[in-house]
Amino acid sequence: MREFVVEADGGSRGNPGPAGYGAVVLDAASGESLVEAAEYLGVVTNNVAEYRGLLAGLRAARELDPDARVHVRMDSKLVVEQMSGRWKIKHPDMKPLAAEAARIFPPGRVTYEWIPRAENKHADRLANEAMDAGARGERWSPADSTAELDAGGAAGRRARGARTGDERETGAAADERAAEGVGAGARAGGTPSLSARAGTESAPRAGAGERVGPTAPADDEDAPSTSARADAERARTGAVADAARAGGGAEGSRTGAVAESSRAGAGEADVRAARTVASPGWGPPDMGAPATFVLLRHGETPLTPQKRFSGSGGSDPSLSSVGREQAERVAASLARRGTIQAVVASPLARTRETAGIVAARLGLEVTVEEGLRETDFGAWEGLTFGEVRERYPADLDAWLASPDARPTGGGESFAATGARVAATRDKLVSAYAGRTVLLVSHVTPIKTFLRLALGAPPESLFRMELSAASLSVVAHYADGGASVRLFNETSHLR
């Protein structure tokens, strides 16, 4: 059974006054927005606008999947308590709205949670966009909305420099809120406008420059920086290399992940990268709920900005101060989503430390799984890609050409890593059927999870990038089917 989170809000500039609502439906596993709804309502009260936002969010969720479970998050204490059955509904304007909301899904399939206004920014911005549009005599347009971007979510439809005003007059809200601006698009006198956000979009990486192609897959590594070396790799793999910056922060896959050598300047690229989102799976109802794996790459280590091979056979570095901050940020993001039910980590220090920080925030224990460890890079551990090229050119050429080749000194081939990860996947799918589990691992295992889910060939590892502390999501069904829902999401790091 699919699970959605609905965040909704509504407000009135005058109470009663010009009002609007906003609502967004999120994928419960990934936290990514699937649908936005917003409407200008004319002159109504705060509370009526809030109920109208709730109705729009529930209807949008039902359109996506009428059999889903829904968790509603609102900063209106009144609506949450009344819909939860703890407060009586006395106002005649709200009784029919509450009754209508209760009929959209069967009893027991919708739960309610009050959240602070600061955690409801996306819906708040949508409601303000609606009121602003209504003041201009226009309808809210999802194509022009920047609500998701402004709220710091996965991304907006597009970044815009100019922003409209978003403050409303608070009035004497019956739900005891004070000074809360809301937003939602203007659809005067009409039905809510829905903006589907389930598509995927190619996204540049964070960091200073782009690299696509067969760069070395070490956890923290260097790759050739000259055009000659890039041309040599193109000849061996057929992938496109960026001659200006072939280096790269990969943790055990041939593309690797870009090491964020500077936090400054990465925000704009991460805004684009965060739009990489896949639609939820199409598993049939009789398959039951999938085992959903939220795949988290560990935070940075001291080797990450140096771009050195760092697998399971090296020095086993701990997180750097930057890596610990990244882990704290992802922990806060996952805590807000509230969907993680278990935490499983690779036995290496950097993954156990990352997992420990997240698990402490979620109130969970960490289970260690040997199969999630990084590839063993043999004699290449601790070296940059350039140093390996100079010392072991023939071995490196063979390794780049075939997934069966091992690094110098008896390291682990990608074929062997793939078999290990496949066995681990099967074990975890069986153990966590129907649950959402955070797997804290490394670039090679995470890319392998994704490759296997897509049924892609080994060379697909050349076409993927994973940033430190990024999130990806794969759902596995009982019949062996899988759905990739998210890849390399980094909005939580901004």
Active site residues: 298, 374
Whole-angstrom distance, CA of residue 205 vs CA of residue 490? 9
> 105-125 burial, b for 16+ CB within 10 Å, e for fewer?
beeeebebebbebeebbbbbb
What is the C-alpha separation between 472 and 482, in angstroms, rounded?
Answer: 13
Number of H helices, E strands in the chain: 13, 12
DSSP 308-359: B---SSS------HHHHHHHHHHHHHHHHHT---EEEE-SSHHHHHHHHHHH
From CA 192, how far away is CA 184, in angstroms rounded? 10
Neighbouring C-beta atoms of residue 238, cutoff 10 Å: 11
């409209």: which residue's tokens?
164
* 118 secondary structure, DSSP code: G
DSSP characters for 351-367? HHHHHHHHHHHHT-PEE
Tell me which amino acid residue 237 is. Answer: T
User: Parallel, antiparallel, or unpaired: how do β-strands 436-441 and 291-297 relate?
Assistant: parallel
323 closest CA partner among 299, 306, 304 = 299
Closest C-alpha to 344, from 445, 439, 465: 439
DSSP, collapsed to helix, strand or coil, labels residue 438 as strand
- Biggest CA pair distance of the chain: 80
Spell out a b/e string for 424-457, using b for 16 or more CB atoms within 10 Å of the CB, else e: bbeebbeebeebbbbbbbbbbbbbbbbbbbeeee
**Around 394, how many Cα atoms within 13 Å sit in the side-chain half-sphere?**
1
Q: Are 468 and 323 in contact (CB under 8 A)?
A: yes
Beta-carbon contacts of 218 under 8 Å, excluding residues fewer than 6 positions away, are 250, 251, 252, 256, 307, 308, 309, 310, 311, 377, 380, 385
Helix (H) or strand (E) holding 99: helix 95-104
Encoded tokens for 181 = 């601006």
Q: Give strand ranges (E) for 428-481.
A: 436-441, 471-476
